[in-house]
Amino acid sequence: MTDIDFQQLSEKLSLPLPLFLQYALKKYPEYGKTAWYDFYLKNRARKTGTLLSLHLELTSKCNLNCKMCYVHSESIPESSQKELSEEQWLELMKQAVSEGIYSVTLSGGEAMLHPGFWPIYEYLHAHGVLVSVFTNGLCLTDTAIEHFVSLPPRLIQISLYGASEEGYTTVTGRPVFHQIDHTLQQLKKAGLPFQVAITPSIFLYPEIDSILQYVQERNYPYRINKTLFPPREETGRKHANICLSTQQMGEILKQLPAEGSSEPGQVHRISIPKTAPLSEIGVPCASGMTSAHIDCNGIMNGCIALPLVNADVCKLGLKELFRQFINAAWNFECPQNVQAARSILFVPPVPENIF
């Protein structure tokens, strides 16, 4: 989609939703109704400064100890971790619902280890919020899956760290591949919406071919994350020690199905731009414009990789803090050079000639 196409579509955002969908589906039928609905909603929210989505890092605690994790480490004393309680999260979610929040992602650490996970999930679900859960899968027992069937999520995303017990032990410290394999089978059998997330690192790289073969043979929807967030200082990890080289990442991306391919493979191969093309001023993505990230200590940012205000949401309140985010986001100086933009978002630049 060209900038001119995007501009023409942007001009149609003033239309009522049914008329916009009629126009977009007639001109670009390949994207589908759901994609255009999201496009309309996200870009209208950007124009009006509306908080549309939240990513909540419920806890830094985890039942794995991944060598590349940016938030969790068993070396961090549990006594030093002062995380938001169930009551504090529920209060923030009440504020979010009153602001008309559309979607929330529950993450971690391992989100399902937070003692308030189910009350938080159930509260959001009961108020019509679309809830996604990012998990390593170990807490997805048969009982948990049954509960999700009764209260369906928007998406369950399972991070996959290997295709064998040895691979899982290398990356996470635990030989739990067969347990995750069983969980994925149960999710598919239950008909729940799920996808597998693969985040390449130097530790996972030796098994990347086996991992891709595993998800493709089973026709599991999957995505490859091209971003590896810098570990927080308290983890003791260094970003430079966990990242793949540009060449290694390029080799992985070469294996993906071509855009629009009907082969089993990566989801979202055809994508509509979610926001306007790069400009000199203003965050080009949703960070701080329509979405925000809140960590387990209550510190709110545009997203994990782009700190804009970095303040305590429990003290200032969600509505007031998001207003500050909008101001910071619109005054953000966005690099015109795409390579520079990728550098800021910690995405290694991919050579143009790899495809």
Cβ burial, residue 7 (10 Å; 0-12/13-18/19+): exposed
Contact predicate 288/51, CB 8 Å: no
Residue 143 has pLDDT above 70, yes or no: yes
Cα separation of 188 and 181, whole Å? 11
Taken in order of first residue, the domains within the chain and their CATH numbers are 48-83+101-123+130-267 (3.20.20.70)
H-helix segments, 58-191: 86-98, 117-126, 142-150, 165-172, 177-190
Cβ 156 vs Cβ 125: under 8 Å:
no
Q: How would you write 55-70 as a 3-class SS string?
A: EEECCCCCCCCCCCCC
pLDDT of residue 15: 92
Residue 319 to residues 194, 322, 323: CA-CA distances in angstroms? Answer: 31, 5, 6
pLDDT in tens, 195-243: 999 999 999 999 999 999 999 999 999 999 888 888 888 888 898 899 9
If phi > 0 it is left, if psi is from -120 to 50 it is alpha, else beta; for residue 260 that is left
User: Mean pLDDT of all residues in the chain?
Assistant: 84
> What is residue 263's predicted lDDT score, i.e. its pLDDT?
44
- Residue 45: phi and psi, rounded to 5, are -65, -40
> For 253-292, how does the pLDDT look when each residue is reduced to its tens digit (9 = 90+)?
887 765 434 344 444 333 454 544 444 457 777 787 889 9
**pLDDT tens track for 181-190:** 999 999 999 9
* Residue-wise pLDDT tens digits, 59-93: 999 999 999 999 887 766 665 568 999 999 999 99
Q: Report CA-CA distances (Å) from 181 to 68, 160, 209, 290, 293.
A: 22, 9, 17, 36, 30
**pLDDT (0 to 100) of residue 257:** 67
- Average pLDDT on 326-331 reads 82
**Interval 233-242: pLDDT, tens:** 888 889 889 9
